[in-house]
Chain A
Amino acid sequence: DTGVSQDPRHKITKRGQNVTFRCDPISEHNRLYWYRQTLGQGPEFLTYFQNEAQLEKSRLLSDRFSAERPKGSFSTLEIQRTEQGDSAMYLCASSKEAKAFFGQGTRLTVV
C-alpha cells in the first residue's frame, strides 16, 4: 500500500462551478478525515468518517459542501457553486487507531 492517495492534486475552477475531490485511504483504515488548509494556517477539521458513517461535520462545512464514503473505502468531497473563499488545500487523512496518515492534498484555486 502506498499510503493515502488524493485526486486531483491541483484543480482550477471558475467561480460557481462544482468540483469533486477523491481520497483513497490506506486499505485497512476505518477512519477517514477531511481537512482544509489555507495559506499560512494549520489544517482545519471538516469532517470525519468511521467506515461509511459520517460521524461529525464541522461548522466550516457549509451547505455547499458534501462528503461521502459510500462503501467505507474511498471518500469524495464535493463543493457546489464554488466561491473564491473556497480556494485552499484540501487534505485527507486516514487512520486505524490514533495515528493519522495524510495524503498529498488537493489544491483548489477558484478564479
Chain B
Amino acid sequence: KNEVEQSPQNLTAQEGEFITINCSYSVGISALHWLQQHPGGGIVSLFMLSSGKKKHGRLIATINIQEKHSSLHITASHPRDSAVYICAVLSGTYKYIFGTGTRLKVLA
C-alpha cells in the first residue's frame, strides 16, 4: 500500500462541474503540497498546507491532520483545468512522498 493514496485516479467532468480530488496519507507529515502537472512534464505548485483551508481563485484545498486526509476542489471547472493533479506530503524536513496523481479531463 502506498504511503500517499489519491482518488480517483482518472476523472472526466463537463465544463462547469464542481470537482473534488482526494488524498489520504499514512505517514506523519509537516506539510502537504498540491501540484499540477501538464503534458510535457512541468510541475506547478498550487497549494502548500499544514492545516485548515486555502483558496486561490477557483481552487480550494483543505486538510484534516487528524484524519490524514486532504481534498482539492475545483469550482466551475474549465477545459484548461485538464491536467494531472498530484498530492505530495512533506515527511520530515525535506523528503516529499508523492501520490500517483489524478488525471483530470474537463470537456467543453
Assess the B94–A31 pair: CB atoms within 8 A.
yes
Kindly report which residue of chain B lies nearest to residue A43, judged by CB atoms: B98
B10: min CB distance to chain A, Å: 10
B52: interface (CB < 8 Å): no
Select which of B90, B96, B100 is within 8 A of A40 by beta carbon. B100
Cα(A55)–Cα(B28), bound, Å: 21
Per-position binary interface string of chain B over residues 82-94, scored 1 when its CB falls under 8 Å from any chain A CB and 0 otherwise: 0000101010011
Near A by CB (< 8 A), chain B positions 17-37 give 30-31, 33, 35
* Contact count band on A: 20 to 34
Q: Give the complex CA separation of A2 and B91 in angstroms.
A: 27
Q: Is the interface of B mostly helix, strand, loop or mixed?
A: strand
Check if B57 is an interface residue, CB within 8 A of chain A. Answer: no
**Chain B interface residue count, Cβ-Cβ cutoff 8 angstroms:** 24
Report how many A-B pairs have Cβ atoms within 8 Å: 62
Residues of A within 8 A of B86 (CB): 42-43
Interface status of A91 (Cβ within 8 A of chain B): yes
Interface segment, one of A61-69, A70-78, A96-104:
A96-104
B-side contacts of A50, CB under 8 Å: 94
Which B residues are closer than 8 A to A by beta carbons?
4, 30-31, 33, 35, 40-45, 48, 86, 88, 90, 93-101
